[in-house]
Chain A
Amino acid sequence: MSTLLLLVITGLGLGALYFLVASGLSLIYGLMGVLNFAHGSFLTISAFLGWEVGRRVSDGTWAGLALSALVGMLVGAVVAAATEYLLIRRLYERHIEQALVTVGLALASVALFEGIWGTDPIYTQKPEWLGETTEILGAKIPNDRFLLIACALLVLGGIVLFLQRTRYGLIIRAGVENRSMVTALGIDVRRSFTIVFAIGGAAAGLGGVLASVYYGYVSAHLGSVLLIFAFIVTVIGGLGSLTGAAIASVLVAVLQQFANYYLGGTGDLVVVIALAAVLLVRPRGLMGKAA
């Protein structure tokens, strides 16, 4: 029982990280049709800069971590918005070129990060409580899982509120469904492209800082590793569906944890098989719209 609970909660924590990356990917694809391969770079630069600022102010404390998270979100939002404004917008409706640019940016940024921070992981400090465990029904749950889950829920709630309660949210929801009709109502849908990139970048930025808490280090490849699973989550959840991304994040991460524990570390393989199964049986994903 305690093992099951540990696997589920650890899976939820990892799923929270996947969701923070996948939410932006899914919204960006849903609205603009852009598969943003540079999304992992937003996460990595945010993790590095968040860590740099946090450790200088107060390393290993809650204040330092909160500052890291704020810096990470800000950096993620700014870098993502700049990427959209300077690169993606010029390639509007040219999907192959958009993919090439984002892949190129992802590769170049990893090289840049290695040049600045080196190729080895840099181990990070975290508040003492996050390194401890809490016993629930006999399972010793690492406390950082609770932080990850709480943050992902806050981000999910924040994005849902934004989408439901604001005019830009309304435009984004309509644009995901039928972008050209939104422009035919007299709305400049491109403005919401930048906002969606900024929101996605901020979520990924927070994900970067939290990933450094979860894994205990930052590295130039942090974003690349998480991006692969975030893409899997986005496809399984249904491209463009925030709810789908949230559900698939949990399913994929929990499945991964169980397979790693019970099937001899085959979590990654099982996740890829799940992706293949979804593509074969339900190509639009769990919550995606029909083609």
Chain B
Amino acid sequence: MSEPILVVDRLSGRIAGQQVVEDVSFEVPASGVTALLGRNGVGKTSTIKSILGLIERTGEVRLAGTRVDRLPTHRIVQRGVGYVPEDREVFGALTVGENLRLAERDDRPRRELVDRLFPDLVERRAQRAGTLSGGQQQMVSLARALVNENRLLLVDEPTKGLAPRIVDEVAAALAEAARTVPILLVEQNLHVIRALAERVVVLSGGRVVFTGAASDLLDDEDRIQRYLGVHDAAEGQNASEGESR
């Protein structure tokens, strides 16, 4: 088996002095989608931000065998990490085209791939990103990450608050991306997790409580209920304290 692309070892994170991630350790394989799961507020987003150095952190983070936890965020990203944040965080005053140009890290941007995955954005290049719908903004956010050749994608709740049709489009784009780049995916939608994830890491109380094959968790109703707080009776149910869309 090949070396993991990402190794997180005893990672802790703090926001304004408050511990939000505590001694988290897990690995992300060099291919496929690894889902980072857990109930609301367990520290999934904070774990992603800790990996990137966007919040104060301690512990080790290795990207392709090299420690990156002492590097500033921009240097980690320059090493080939694409980031799709929770809530999209597009630059609303910039056009779609400017959002994408800003994200290009070298002179070989994969514009054709982005245009093929998100044709809706092609005709909206000159439109301000702040005027787009939530789904279109999510596409801009994904496109910003996919426009570069990455070694790892960190994708945080890409289907949050989106209409079912857009959820399918986003999942399809991620599935295509996952063919060439490993993804660490934070996601609440069990339908999307079933479709994409091969492995899962489950957090509870800021700690890892389960790691393994996705099927080991998703085929076990008792585990789903215990770790995620939901019954998987209906496809598409959220993995977060039973809320549904």
What residues of chain A have their CB less than 8 Å away from a CB belonging to chain B? 167, 170-171, 173-174, 177-178, 180-189
Contact = CB atoms under 8 A, between A and B. Distances in A.
Contact of A187 (B54, B102, B148): B102
A186 B91 CA distance: 15
Contact of B77 (A174, A178, A184): A184
Interface of B: 52, 54, 72-74, 77-78, 83, 85, 89, 91-94, 98, 101-103, 105, 144, 148
A168 to B, nearest CB: 11
Given A170-B98, A174-B102, A183 B93 contact: no
Which of A182, A183, A188 has the most B CB atoms < 10 Å from its CB? A183
Contacts of B93: 173, 177
A186 B74 CA distance: 4
A183 B91 contact: no
A183 B102 contact: no
6 shortest A-B CB distances, which residue pairs?
A: A186-B77, A183-B73, A186-B78, A174-B91, A181-B89, A183-B74
28 contacts: A170-B98, A170-B101, A170-B102, A171-B102, A173-B94, A174-B91, A180-B54, A180-B73, A181-B85, A181-B91, A182-B102, A183-B54, A183-B74, A183-B77, A184-B52, A184-B54, A184-B74, A184-B77, A185-B77, A185-B83, A185-B102, A185-B103, A185-B144, A186-B74, A186-B105, A186-B148, A188-B74, A189-B74
B102 A177 contact: no
A178 B91 contact: yes
A167 B78 CA distance: 17
B157 to A, nearest CB: 15
Given A170-B98, A173-B91, A177-B94, 18 more contacts: A171-B102, A173-B94, A174-B98, A177-B91, A177-B92, A177-B93, A180-B73, A181-B91, A182-B102, A183-B74, A184-B54, A184-B74, A184-B77, A185-B105, A186-B74, A186-B105, A187-B74, A188-B72
Contacts of B89: 178, 181
Contact of B73 (A167, A170, A178, A184): A184
B170 to A, nearest CB: 19
Nearest to A175: B91
Contacts of B105: 185-186
Contacts of B101: 167, 170
Contacts of A187: 74, 102
B57 to A, nearest CB: 14
B46 to A, nearest CB: 14
B126 to A, nearest CB: 13
Nearest to B99: A174
Contacts of B73: 180, 183-184
